[in-house]
Amino acid sequence: MQQISYLSSPIPDINLISGYYKEFAFQKHYHLDYHFGLIVNGQQQFHLKGQSYTSGPGDLVLMPPDELHDGQARFDEGYEVKVLAVSPHWLSQLKPSNHQGQLGFHSPIVQEPMLFRALLNTHLALSDENISALAHDCLPHESFEQLLNRHAKPICAYAQPIGTKQLTQVRDYVMSHLDQPIRLEQLAKLCDLSERQFQRLFKQATGMSPHAWLTRLRLEKSMALVKAGQPSAQVALQTGFYDQAHFSKAFRSVYGISPSHIN
């Protein structure tokens, strides 16, 4: 049986996930934040950029925003993971001075025991109300500076036929119209493309169809709203789901937990 918790932390730009996943498998998806997964027990396998990876106890999995990937347990006993979900804005303040633009990483899996322990201690500290406020403030900076100094690299986001500026326009438009029906024609016009061209080039750039990408974006936004304490019925309306039942089903299929169980 799955055991999953999504928690806020004293730092608004960092959210915490603790999960034991057995039967549940993540379908292809992306995140709006950086996700740093600490494999505590068991083994996880995932696909990223056409390659297959396996991570085990003590491994750190580095997943930048917008990277299409999946994830599931490798064996029947499942795996346990602690995740730090960090906003790009917060992390960018710590990047090395010689890095410009979006941050990527040399490898999606890092095997470095001292760094693993530092990030695991950060996760535990941010979820412990008895730790001092100064520790809450300092530990994330210390551990993530270690991570970025050793493993970060600058990347050019979306080096694809649909450029970064066009994709940003599409995302900005979608985010401001999440509660409304969004048509392919509208998105294609933003990029000065035909509907057929847009659909083909968008999937080439992101790895997802526009419809699948929009659904994921709606769910990422809904998670933030649920964690902010908004009721599910209101979140469903704000993010474009036609009713609460449809929203709850989609939410559970992606996160493995119903909105009502989010803290």
- Return the structure tokens found at 53: 């990876």
Report yes or no: 102 and 71 within 8 Å, Cβ to Cβ: no
Reported as a pLDDT band with limits 50, 70 and 90, residue 147 is very high
Q: What is the pLDDT of residues 7-52, one digit of tens each?
A: 999 999 999 999 999 999 999 999 999 999 999 999 999 999 999 9
* Percent of the chain topping pLDDT 70: 95
Taking the CA atoms of 104, 108, 110 and 115 in sequence, report the sign of the dihedral they define. Answer: positive
CA distances from 194 to 10, 151, 166, 177, 212 (A): 46, 40, 14, 21, 19
Reported as a pLDDT band with limits 50, 70 and 90, residue 262 is confident
Residue 252 phi, psi dihedral angles, 5° rounding: -65, -35
Q: What angle do CA 43, 41, 55 make, to 5 degrees?
A: 35
What local confidence, expressed as pLDDT, does residue 154 receive?
76
> Is pLDDT at 159 greater than 50 in this prediction?
no
Q: Judging by DSSP bridges, how do beta strands 44-48 and 102-105 pair with one another?
A: unpaired
- pLDDT, averaged across the chain: 90
Which residues are 44's β-sheet partners?
55, 73
Lowest mean pLDDT among 89-103, 134-148, 200-214: 89-103
Q: Which domains are present in the chain?
A: 3-155 (2.60.120.280), 164-261 (1.10.10.60)
Alpha carbons 219 and 211: distance in angstroms, whole number = 12
What local confidence, expressed as pLDDT, does residue 100 receive?
63
